[in-house]
Amino acid sequence: MAPIPYRPVLAIVFVLPILVFGNDRFKRQCVPCHSTNIPDLETLYFRYLQTHGSTQRSQKTMRLYLLHPTIQNSTLPPQVLKGFGLHPPLKPELLDQTLPMYFETYDLTKRIKFKSSK
């Protein structure tokens, strides 16, 4: 009997629920608030990339801030934070589901294209 390909099976069992539920929770719990009176999600995304230079570093820093929201852990300047206030702390489980979805939503690699005029 041929061995069962374990990688696709693992992906279906573990990753698919995270994506499905993560997307759902991101849309329900993050987007509504950030659409109104606090910094826009896209602006934050660009700000983090500009400051930290990579998606991985940005995600790691954002996670630390959202777990322990202090001025020291924040990427935004203190004067900006004074205006908006600190983010309420979030649970790791929530961040595991929503943060990947957030970075996936604004992923720059999907926007950039090369073309040659020569």
Residues near another protein (CB under 8 A): 42-43, 46, 49-58, 108-109, 111-118
Instruction: Look up residue 68 and give its amino acid.
Output: H
C-alpha–C-alpha distance, residues 89 and 102, integer Å: 17
Nearer of residues 58 and 97 to another protein, judged by Cβ: 58
Please tell me what DSSP assigns to residue 53.
Answer: S
Nearer of residues 54 and 70 to another protein, judged by Cβ: 54
What's the burial of 39, exposed, middle or buried (CB within 10 Å: 0-12/13-18/19+)?
middle
Q: How far is the CB of 30 from another protein (least distance, A)?
A: 18
Q: How far is the CB of 4 from another protein (least distance, A)?
A: 32
Nearer of residues 56 and 70 to another protein, judged by Cβ: 56
Nearer of residues 25 and 52 to another protein, judged by Cβ: 52
Q: How far is the CB of 57 from another protein (least distance, A)?
A: 7
Q: Please name the residues in contact with 106: beta carbons below 8 A apart, sequence gap of 6 or more.
A: 41, 42, 45
